[in-house]
Structure formats: C-alpha cells, structure tokens
Structure 1
Amino acid sequence: MQPQHHEIEVRVRFLREEGCPYAQAAGWYDLNHATSASAGVDLKACLADLPGKAVTIEPGQRYPAPTGIAIEIGAPGVAGFVFSRSGLGAKKGLTVSQGVGVIDPDYRGEIICSLLNTSDEPRTIQHGDRIAQLLFLPYFAARIVPSETLSDTDRGAGGFGHTGV
C-alpha cells in the first residue's frame, strides 16, 4: 500500500550558488524527501564560507547554522517547522536549540538552524551535513478574545505534576 501524501508547492531560493550543499553537478538541487514516506526535508549546513568548512560546537553551546536557502510556502495556513533529526539528537546530542523552529509563511530570509550541543563532548558539523528536518504543517491563527472568566474543567488550574508521577 502506497503512503498517502498531501502536497503543497514550496518555492526554494538557493542563496549561495557557489559551494551550496544542495547543488548537484547536473545543475539541479537535491532538497527532497529522503524516502517516499519521509515526513520532512533534510536541511544541510551551508558552511562554505568558514575556514575548513566546519564548525565545532562545545558542550552546552549553541550555533546558528546557516542552510543557504530561503523559502516561499505556496499554501495558506501552512508554516515550516524545523525539528531535530532524531539520530543526530539521540546519538550525537545535537538538537534544535529552541525545541522547534517556526518558519512563518511570510518570512523570506535564510533558514538558520540554531543547534544546541546537549552532549558532554565537542561536536563538529561539516559543510553539507544534514543538521535538521523541515516539515510543513497547518496552523491556526488565533483570534484573541479578552475575557474575565474561562470555562471550568476537571483539571482547572492544576499545574506541573498535579496528577502524580
């Protein structure tokens, strides 16, 4: 059984032709889903301008890794969400520093992946390394309605740990 997909058009602007990690010799760009059932598109580090085309992130430190791309999402009510790559986070301790990055549909600048080294060892990323994944998901814009009261629920204002361990 083939997976069902919903598709949207996403225009991609490659910001650095020279040294772009997505560039292929044939003149097309490899910014696709890794498999037919992959939810996200892999984002790669665009470090061509750095000495050695690499950067080391010390334990507990963050690094704003450029990707060399900007996007235009061609569907209303959809935004881009930058998630950690599960293997990179679980095996190497490199995660998206704010949990999930949000690419608003009207943003046209370069996608930057803020990486956090949660391991006890320095981690090096190389130019072209897959560093995060980009998913396109629907969102709801909130219509804020000021109110003096909110409805009652069984939980009420019970906060962290109120239901036990």
Structure 2
Amino acid sequence: MRPSPDLGGISLSERIEVFIKRLPGNEDIALPQKMSELASGFDLYAAVSEPLDLGPGERALIPTGFALAMPAGLEAQIRPRSGLAFKHGITSLNTPGTIDADYRGEVKVLLINHGKETFTINRNERIAQMVFQTVPLITLTEVSELDETERGAGGFGHTGTK
C-alpha cells in the first residue's frame, strides 16, 4: 500500500501526485482523463452495471468505479459536463460536489435530469468532470465585532437592481 501523498509546500507549478485505485469489477471503465491538452477537468465515466433510465425530475447517485488518495491541501470538485447539461438537461445536483483529501471511498456523481425526456446513462459513458483545487489552511477566530464595510449586511440582490 502506498502512503498518501503530501503537498508539503510544493509550488503550484509542480506536478501534484494523486493516487487512483480502480475498484474491482470496473476493469472496463475508463479512468478519469482530460479530453484536451489544456482542459482543467478530467472526464468521469459511469460504472453502472446496466443502463439506468433517469426520468425528468429524477436524480441518481452514479458510481465511477474508482477511489482517490489526494494530498492534504487538495480537493476534487465534481462538476457537470456542459454538453449533457445543454443537450439533455443533465447536471450535477450538488455542484460542485466536493471530494475531501481524507475520503477513500468510491467517487460517485449525483446527477439530476432537468430535461423533458428520460435520459439513459450507459456503462462507460462520460457523465461529469473532476477538477482539482488547492484548499488553503484556514483558522476561524471568534471576535465580538467585525470591521465595517460599505456593503455591510446587504444580502441577496443588494448590490444590483437586476
């Protein structure tokens, strides 16, 4: 078993190693891959055992057939594929979905059909994309007062009229 990779202060211009494990029974499923040289996302493939019909308004948790080990300071974000969203109304329900660095289970994608027709998800079909992001180390400090800003407590729709 390989140890979890450690970000250890490496620069963002250096390659960050993320370990990927294909889960048993998914040898035929493509591992995540970029579809162009400068793509930021890795396409994810459905590891459904049989075609899955997703009716209008329905949602389903779709397996991908792999698990990850990422270094501390990194997260994987699961995002929709723009083509599926535009052509069929298929999108990720919790966008972006977050895969934390300490999660070792199967990566799954929560899809919803916002379209008007049933959409069939087939084995080894591209269903989403995964983008890696760095996560800063944050310390929350409780205080009794916050500094004032021009916006103040103005919330939803406060900064514009449209």
Provide TM-score, normalisation by structure 1: 0.84
Q: Which residue in the other structure is 2:15 paired with?
A: 7
Q: Compared with structure 1, are the counterparts of its residues 44 and 140 closer, same or farther at alpha carbon in structure 2 (3 Å cutoff)?
A: same
Q: Compared with structure 1, are the counterparts of its residues 6 and 119 closer, same or farther at alpha carbon in structure 2 (3 Å cutoff)?
A: farther
The answer as to 2:75 corresponding to 1:79 is: yes
Q: Counterpart of 2:143 in 1: which secondary structure?
A: coil
Give the ranges of 4+ consecutive aligned residues of structure 1 lying more than 6 Å apart after TM superposition: none
The answer as to 2:104 corresponding to 1:108 is: yes
Q: Which residue in the other structure is 1:152 paired with?
A: 148
Cα RMSD after superposing both structures: 1.6
Deviation at 1:16, TM superposition (A): 2.5
Q: Distance in 2 between matches of 1:58 and 1:142?
A: 41
The answer (yes or no) to whether the contact 2:51–2:123 under 8 Å persists in 1 is: yes
Q: Distance in 1 between matches of 2:45 and 2:76?
A: 15
Shifted more, 142-151 versus 123-132: the winner is 142-151
Quick one: which amino acid aligns to residue 35 of structure 2? A
Quick one: which amino acid aligns to residue 158 of structure 1? G
Quick one: which amino acid aligns to residue 45 of structure 1? A
Q: Counterpart of 1:90 in 2: which secondary structure?
A: helix
Deviation at 1:19, TM superposition (A): 5.2
Q: Counterpart of 1:42 in 2: which secondary structure?
A: strand
The answer (yes or no) to whether the contact 2:84–2:91 under 8 Å persists in 1 is: yes
Unaligned runs of at least 5 residues, structure 2: 1-12
Deviation at 1:143, TM superposition (A): 1.2
% of aligned pairs identical? 34
Shifted more, 30-39 versus 76-85: the winner is 30-39
Deviation at 1:99, TM superposition (A): 1.5
The answer as to 2:33 corresponding to 1:32 is: yes
Q: Which residue in the other structure is 1:25 paired with?
A: none
**Matched positions, count:** 149
Q: Which residue in the other structure is 2:54 paired with?
A: 57
Quick one: which amino acid aligns to residue 44 of structure 2? L
Deviation at 1:21, TM superposition (A): 1.4
Deviation at 1:12, TM superposition (A): 0.7
Provide TM-score, normalisation by structure 2: 0.85
Q: Which residue in the other structure is 2:63 paired with?
A: 66
Deviation at 1:54, TM superposition (A): 0.6
